[in-house]
Copies of this chain bind each other. A is one copy, B any other.
Amino acid sequence: MTALISGAAVAQHNSRESCWIIIHGKAYDVTEFLEEHPGGAAIILKYAGKDATKAYDPIHASDVVTTHLPKDKHLGLVDLSTVEEVIEEKTPEQRRREALWAARPPVSEILNLYDFEVLSRSILAPKTWYYYSSGADDEIALRENHNAFQRVWFRPRVLRNVSEVDMTHSILGCKSSMPFYISAMALGKLGHPDGELCLTRAAGKTGIIQMISTFASFTFDEIVDARAPDQVLFSQLYVNQNRELTRKYVQNAEKRGIKGLFITVDAPQLGRREKDLRAKNADDGGSEAGAKIQEGQKVEKGEGHTRAISSFIDPCLNWDDIKWFQGITKMPIILKGVATWEDTVLAIEAGVQGVVLSNHGGRQLDMARSGLEVLVEVISELKKRQLWPNPNFHIFIDGGVRRASDILKALALGASAVGIGKGFLYSYCAYGQEGVERAIDILRDEMIMDMRMLGITKLSELVPEMVDAHGLTTHPVPSPEHVLYNNTYEKLQLAQFRDAKL
């Protein structure tokens, strides 16, 4: 057994020339790694010679450093009793947020999914908030995702016996207590110390399916370990240039009982998100890039001053690769991020089990159409080609869902199920696991109400005639305001009390 390294020994390596840090009681030599760190060298140098665990934990899965730093840089166990504790005084910002956390209304007073979001907006560190809430370019796609649902209206039926309502659903052949799943999102720990585990635990308790992100803050196995007996999980996958890493990831997922593999196909490169970029001018990283190290790749800086493209998302991924995936796993394969009927037809021809029609939450290509809008096009074109209905092919959508009514609209228009990401993310940012459970409760409550109002008792009774989607594909841009006229027009007034002071 090797001797413990003393804190003093580590403390000598506190510069760019020689930089050691302590994580979870072990010392690592990261000198050569400094320039490769996706979050930048500065944030590491801040802890040079010190214990970096507290800063490391919220952003990295626990195995990142051990897995990806060469073995010879693992310096061994440290005698923590000799390490000077890094006392970071709480910043006024941190104190402000702690006070906000304490001042949250009781979770029982949360009425809808917007509530979680508006509270999170104040509670989260600004950089986390900007990272979570940002979209591509002008964020028109991001907002359109939500707005698209407002262009589909209901045609409810009356005088049907709706005393018993059953909203259970089958998603990829797995039972779900409701017709949606929790979509994959990266870097959950930034929003709450328990990060993605809040989702896993709440989902297990309520019978909802969760999709695990390749970029989760917890390791894949940590999340799987947290599931309840018989709890269903899906896995999202960013395909790595190093296919061996990908093969291991996929086969481990299958071994661990994952019921569906959602391969992301709309991110040959991670999107340009300006809120996130503006926030990054500070010294410590917190961007999605921070997660890329998980896959152990070096960051290429070939493209000037802009963001690095992690080589671990393989821009070469193409239809030929699908066959390879079909050879290494028996899990159902779903292509996540399809945006046209043409590619949906190709997906069917490729023999995969389904697609997620999605614009990646508006975070990749701005002004790509919403999943809901694409859904209508896809169903229509598949029908023309006698490719729909198709019991062996599943069409999911995600993006912008905030209400059970949104889910019901998508199902009426042909979706097999709906993915919800942000809605759940903010629920645990604001209240942890309890928030996620409350969010699911709210959706269940809305769902019962809406199904009764629509005159249905099971989801199979939901038909296209129950929605009026004729305006879905219109997304007019407001014409320029007519400044001179509007500033000249005298507005009408309403009655007023005699004493305006009242």
Q: Is the CB of A494 within 8 A of B490?
A: no
In the complex, A128 has a CB within 8 A of chain B: no
In the complex, A109 has a CB within 8 A of chain B: yes
Restricting to A452-495, which residues have a CB under 8 Å from any CB of B? 452-454, 465, 468, 470-471, 473-485, 487-495
Using known A-B contacts A150-B367, A161-B315, determine if residue A155 contacts B340 with beta carbons closer than 8 Å. Answer: yes
In the complex, A119 has a CB within 8 A of chain B: yes
In the complex, A15 has a CB within 8 A of chain B: no
Q: Is the CB of B137 within 8 A of A488?
A: no
Q: Is the CB of B502 within 8 A of A103?
A: yes
In the complex, A8 has a CB within 8 A of chain B: no
Q: Is the CB of A365 within 8 A of B497?
A: no
Q: Is the CB of B477 within 8 A of A342?
A: no
Residue with the greatest number of chain B CB neighbours at <10 A, chosen from A144, A278, A450, A494: A494
Docked complex Cα distance between A465 and B130 (Å): 34
Docked complex Cα distance between A265 and B112 (Å): 26
Q: Is the CB of B159 within 8 A of A317?
A: yes
Docked complex Cα distance between A322 and B160 (Å): 12
The smallest C-beta distance from A411 to any residue of chain B, in angstroms, reads 15
In the complex, A296 has a CB within 8 A of chain B: no
Q: Is the CB of B485 within 8 A of A114?
A: yes
Using known A-B contacts A112-B484, A478-B478, determine if residue A453 contacts B266 with beta carbons closer than 8 Å. Answer: yes
In the complex, chain B residues whose CB is within 8 Å of the CB of A490: 121, 129-130, 133, 275
In the complex, A271 has a CB within 8 A of chain B: yes
In the complex, chain B residues whose CB is within 8 Å of the CB of A484: 112, 114, 138, 492, 494
Q: Is the CB of B112 within 8 A of A477?
A: no
Q: Is the CB of B110 within 8 A of A156?
A: no
Docked complex Cα distance between A266 and B156 (Å): 9
Out of B269, B366, B492, name the residue touching A138 (CB < 8 Å): B492
Question: Per-residue 0/1 for A53-78: is the Cβ within 8 Å of any B Cβ (1 yes, 0 no)?
Answer: 00000000000000000000000000
In the complex, A247 has a CB within 8 A of chain B: no
In the complex, A125 has a CB within 8 A of chain B: no
Out of B346, B368, B454, B497, name the residue touching A156 (CB < 8 Å): B368
In the complex, A105 has a CB within 8 A of chain B: yes
The smallest C-beta distance from A472 to any residue of chain B, in angstroms, reads 10
Docked complex Cα distance between A129 and B369 (Å): 36
Docked complex Cα distance between A98 and B247 (Å): 59
In the complex, chain B residues whose CB is within 8 Å of the CB of A340: 155-157
Restricting to A62-115, which residues have a CB under 8 Å from any CB of B? 96, 99-100, 103-105, 108-112, 114-115
Out of B96, B159, B274, B445, name the residue touching A492 (CB < 8 Å): B274
In the complex, A259 has a CB within 8 A of chain B: no
Q: Is the CB of A403 within 8 A of B453?
A: no
Q: Is the CB of B471 within 8 A of A474?
A: yes
In the complex, chain B residues whose CB is within 8 Å of the CB of A444: 304
In the complex, A298 has a CB within 8 A of chain B: no
In the complex, chain B residues whose CB is within 8 Å of the CB of A316: 161-163
Using known A-B contacts A159-B322, A488-B117, determine if residue A110 contacts B405 with beta carbons closer than 8 Å. Answer: no
Docked complex Cα distance between A452 and B265 (Å): 11
List 28 A-B residue pairs with CB atoms under 8 Å apart, sorted by A's residue number.
A99-B499, A103-B499, A103-B502, A109-B278, A109-B281, A112-B274, A121-B488, A130-B490, A146-B485, A153-B367, A155-B339, A156-B339, A157-B340, A157-B342, A158-B335, A159-B346, A268-B452, A269-B449, A272-B446, A278-B493, A342-B465, A365-B405, A365-B449, A468-B473, A471-B476, A474-B476, A476-B479, A477-B479
- Pick the 5 closest A-B CB pairs, nearest first: A143-B480, A365-B453, A115-B495, A158-B265, A150-B477
Known: A163-B315, A271-B449, A476-B479. 7 other contacts (CB 8 A): A103-B498, A110-B495, A143-B479, A150-B479, A156-B340, A303-B448, A365-B450
